[in-house]
Structure 1
C-alpha cells in the first residue's frame, strides 16, 4: 500500500519528544496514561500533517472510500527489546521502560475519534497488545502463531468486536517478506448475487472460538448462530472456520460457498509493515490475513513484533457496551 503520509524527520522527532514525556505505564494505569497523552499533546501541539492525515482517514472511512490506510515513519521508542517467544507479553512488561509507541497509538485513537478497546481476558486486559509468535501456538490458526493466517475478523466469535485494528511496526526483520492483506467488504458484496447476500444476512452460521480465547477460559466452544453480513457491508467471518449451523436451511451452505468463491476473486490490498509503519484498517467492514511470501531465516521471523490496538468506530459505538466495562475502565470489556 502507498502510505497516506510519510512523517518528516522533524515532525517525527517533535512527536517522539512530546510523547516521551508520558512516563506512566499503560500496562499499570491506563486511565492515567490516556490522560497524560492528551495533556502532552495539548501542551506541545500536533503537527498539521498528522492532523490532516487523521482527518482524511476519518473522512474516507465515513464516505466508504477506503477502509485501510498506512502512515510511515511514525514515532517509536529508541530501545526496542527482543521479546522471548515463551511469554512475549510478560517480557515486554519487564523490559520496556518507555512508552512512545503506545502513546502514539493512543494519540492516533484520539485524533481519529476511535476510542480504544481492550479485553480483560487477554494479556492482562492491556489496551496495547503484541502481534508476535508465541511458542505454544506454533502452527495454529492465530495471529500469535509463527505462520500464515487466513482471512478473518479478529474475535469473530465474540459479542464485542473491534471496528478498527491498528498495527505499528516495532521490530520487522528486513529480509523476511511478511505481508498483511485486506479485502474490503464493499468489494466482496459486489461479487455476490442479491439472494446470496440476503441468505448471508440471516443467523444461519456459527464460528468456533479461537485457541487463545479458549485458553483464556471461554466456556463455549463456538458462537451462537450469527449472520455473516450486517449493516451496509460489515462481515463476520473466519475463513475455513465459520460454517453453517446445524439447523440452517440448505441455501445457507450454497451462500457460504459463494462467499468463499468471492473471497478468492476479490481485489486485495497488501502491505509489508516496516519499522515505524502504522497500518490501520476496518475489522468488521473487511477481512484481513497474514501471508509469508518468503522466509529466509525462520528464527529471524520469530522476532517480528507489531504493537496492536483495537478501537470502536466512534464514541457512540463504544457507549453501546458501557454496561460491560470491567473495573470501571471505559473500553475494557470482559468477554
Structure 2
C-alpha cells in the first residue's frame, strides 16, 4: 500500500518540535494530556501541512473513498526503548520518558474528529497501548502474540468497539516482512447475495472473547448473539472464531460459509508498517489481519513494536456510549 502522504524531513522535524513541547504524561492523567494537545490546536501551532493532510483523510473517510491511510516518516521519540517481553507495559512505564508518539496519535485523532477510546480493564485503562509480543501469549490468537492473525475486528465480542484503529511503527525490523492486511466491508458485500446479506444482518451469530480479554476479566466467555453485518457495510466478525449461535436456523450456517468465501475472493490491501509509519484504518467498516510473509530472524522480529489507539467514528458516536464512561473519563469504558 502506498502512503497517502510522506512527510519531508523538514516537515517531520517541524512537527516533532510541536509534539515534543507537550510535557504532560498520558499514562498518569489522560484528560489533562488530551487538553494540552487540544491547546496546541487552539493556538494554531499545528503545522499547516499536517492540518491539511488530516483534513483530507477525514474527507476521504466521510465520502467513502478510502477507509485506510498511511502517513510515512512521522516524528518519533528521541529514544525508543527495547521492551521486556514478560511485562512490556511495566517496562514502558519505567523506560519511556518522552511522549512524541502518543502526542502524534492524540493530535491525529483530534484533527480527524475521531475521539479516542480505552478499556478500563486493559493496560490500566491507557488510551495508548502496545502491539508487542508478550511471552505468555506466544502462539495464541491475540495481537500480543508473535504469530499471525486471521482477518478480524479488534474486540469483536465486546459491546463497545472502535470505529478506527491507528498504529504507529515504533520499531519495525527492516529484515523481516510482516504485513497488516485490510479488506473493506464494501468489497465483501459485492461477493454476497442480497439473501445472504439479509441473514447476516440477523442476530444469529456469537463470538468468543479473546484470551487477553478473558485474562483481564474472567467473567467474559462469549458474546451475546449478534449480527455479522451492521449499518450499511460494517462487519462484526473474527474469522475461525465467530460461529452460528445455538438455535439459529440452518440458513445462518450457509450465510456464514458464504461470508468465508467472500473473504477469500474480496479485494484486499496489505501494508508493511515501517518505523515512523502511521497506519490508520476502519475497524468496523472492514477487517484486518497480520501476515508474516518472510521472517529471516525470529528473535529480531519479536522486537516489533506498534503504538496503538482505538477511536470512535465521530463525537456523536462517542456520546452514544457516555453512560459507560468509567470514573468520568470520557472515552474510557468497561467491558
Please classify the TM superposition score into its range, dividing by the shorter chain length.
Answer: over 0.9
Separation in structure 2 between the aligned mates of residue 257 and residue 246 of structure 1, nearest angstrom? 16
Q: Unpaired segments of 5 or more residues in structure 2?
A: none
For 2:202, the equivalent position in structure 1 comes to: 202
**CA deviations over 1:245-270 (Å, ceiling 9, x no partner):** 01100000000000000001111100
Gapped runs of 5+ residues in structure 1?
none
Q: Deviations over 1:163-182 (max 9, x none)?
A: 00000000000001000000
Residue in structure 1 matched with residue 319 of structure 2 by the alignment: 319
In the other structure, the counterpart of 1:135 is: 135
Shift of 1:218: 4.2
User: Which stretch shifts more, 48-57 or 155-164?
Assistant: 48-57
Q: After superposition, what is the alpha-carbon deviation per residue over 1:94-124, rounded to whole angstroms, capped at 9, x for unaligned?
A: 1000000000000000000000000001000
For residues 70-108 of structure 1, give each alpha carbon's deviation from its aligned partner in whole angstroms, at most 9, with x where no partner exists. Answer: 001111101000001101111111100000000000000
Q: Is the 8 A contact 2:168 2:278 kept in 1?
A: yes
> Who is 2:160 aligned against?
160
Secondary structure (helix, strand or coil) at the match of 1:76 reads coil
Do 1:167 and 1:308's aligned partners in 2 also have CA atoms closer than 8 Å? yes
Tell me by how many angstroms 1:37 deviates: 1.4
Contact 2:157–2:208, Cα closer than 8 Å, also in 1: yes
What's the C-alpha RMSD, in Å, of the aligned pairs?
Answer: 0.9
> 1:246, 1:75 → 2: CA distance?
50
Partner of 2:65: 65
Query: Matched residues in 2 for 1:143 and 1:60: separation?
Result: 28
Q: Distance in 1 between matches of 2:203 and 2:42?
A: 46
Cα deviation for residue 19 of structure 1 reads 1.1
Q: Deviations over 1:40-87 (max 9, x none)?
A: 344462222211211111111111111100001111101000001101
Equivalent-residue separation in structure 1 for 2:325 and 2:279 (angstroms)? 27
Distance of 1:322 and 1:34 partners within structure 2: 17
Query: Structure 1 residue 38 and structure 2 residue 38: aligned?
Result: yes
Say whether residues 1:47 and 2:53 are aligned partners.
no
TM-score, normalised to structure 2, is 0.99
TM-score, normalising length: structure 1: 0.99
Distance 1:84 1:184 in 2: 35
Name the counterpart of 1:105.
105
Where does residue 221 of structure 1 map in the other structure? Answer: 221
Q: Distance in 1 between matches of 2:39 and 2:63?
A: 31
The answer to whether the aligner puts 1:310 opposite 2:310 as a matched pair is yes
CA–CA separation in structure 1 for the residues paired with 2:42 and 2:201 = 44
Q: Which residue of 2 aligns with 1:16?
A: 16
- Preserved contact between residue 153 and residue 283 of structure 2 (Cα < 8 Å): yes
SS at match of 2:70: strand
Cα offset, 1:9, TM superposition: 1.4
d(CA) in 1 for partners of 2:65 and 2:15?
28
- Cα distance in structure 1, aligned partners of 2:224 and 2:30: 32
Counterpart-to-counterpart distance in 2, 1:42 and 1:9: 25
Q: Which moved more, 1:228-237 or 1:218-227?
A: 218-227
More displaced stretch, 51-60 vs 287-296: 51-60
**Contact 2:18 / 2:46 at 8 angstroms: preserved in 1?**
no
For 2:121 and 2:326, how far apart are their aligned partners in 1?
10
Partner of 1:81: 81
SS in 1 for 2:150: strand
Q: Number of matched residues? A: 335
Separation (CA, whole Å) in 2 of partners of 1:55 and 1:25 = 27
